[in-house]
Amino acid sequence: MASTIRVRATSSGETTEVQALIQHPMDSGFVKDAKGEVIPPHFIQELTFEYNGKSVFVADWGAAVSKDPYVKFSFKGGKKGDDLKISWVDNKGATDTATAKIQ
């Protein structure tokens, strides 16, 4: 089963730019389905990025983050070929993790 996490990490010498797209409904709990029943909230709460065992970015998300959420940031350092570890946890306790190579 394919991971829900897509990452592009590119190093340009001094800094590494990271873009991530996660497959997740990010249901806000404000939308009703065709039957008129509220679709319960179901969204990623925390998304973390680690390089060399150290956290380089933490996203705390609420239900107002778009479906199939996207985030972009940069950090100093990061070499081509090194690993970047990404994990998320949602409000139902589900998780996913992926490791991406810095290009």
Partner 1 sequence: MTIIDNGFSPARRVILKGAGAVALVGLGNIPFSLAPAFAAANDKYPEDAFKAKSEADAIKSLYGKTAEPSDKVRLDAPEIAENGAVVPISVSTTLADVTSIAFLVSENPNALAASYKIPAGTMPSVANRLKMAKTSNVIAIVEAGGKLYSATKEVKVTVGGCGG
Partner 2 sequence: MRPVIHFASAALALAALAFTAVPSAVAADKPDPVADAKAFRNFFAQKFPKVKLEDFVNGPYSMNEDMHRQWEEKEQFPPYEFSLDMGKEMFSKPFKNGKSYADCFPNKGIGIRQNYPYFDAGEGKVVTLELALNRCREANGEPPFSYVKDEMAALTAYMAFTSRGKPFDIKIPDDPRALEAYQNGKRYFYTRRGQLNFSCATCHVQTPGERIRAEVLAPALGILNAMPIYRSEWSGMGTISRRFTTCNSQIRGVPLNPQDDEYRDLEYYLSYVSNGLPISGPGARP
Closer CB to partner 2, 31 or 52, in the complex: 31
Closer CB to partner 2, 10 or 48, in the complex: 10
**Binding partner of residue 23 among partner 2, partner 1, none, CB under 5 to 8 Å per kind?**
partner 2
Among 62, 70, 97, 101, indicate the residue that binds partner 2 (CB under 8 A). 70
Among 12, 55, 99, 103, indicate the residue that binds partner 1 (CB under 8 A). 55
CB atoms inside a 10 Å sphere around CB 78:
23
For residue 88, the minimal CB distance to partner 1 (Å) is 8
Closest CA to 21 of 63, 50, 59: 59
Q: What is the DSSP string of 12-45?
A: -SSEEEEEEEE----B-S--B-TTSPBPPPB-EE
Cα within 13 Å of Cα(47), Cβ side? 25
* Residues at the interface with partner 2 (CB under 8 A): 2, 6, 8, 19-21, 23, 67-68, 70, 72
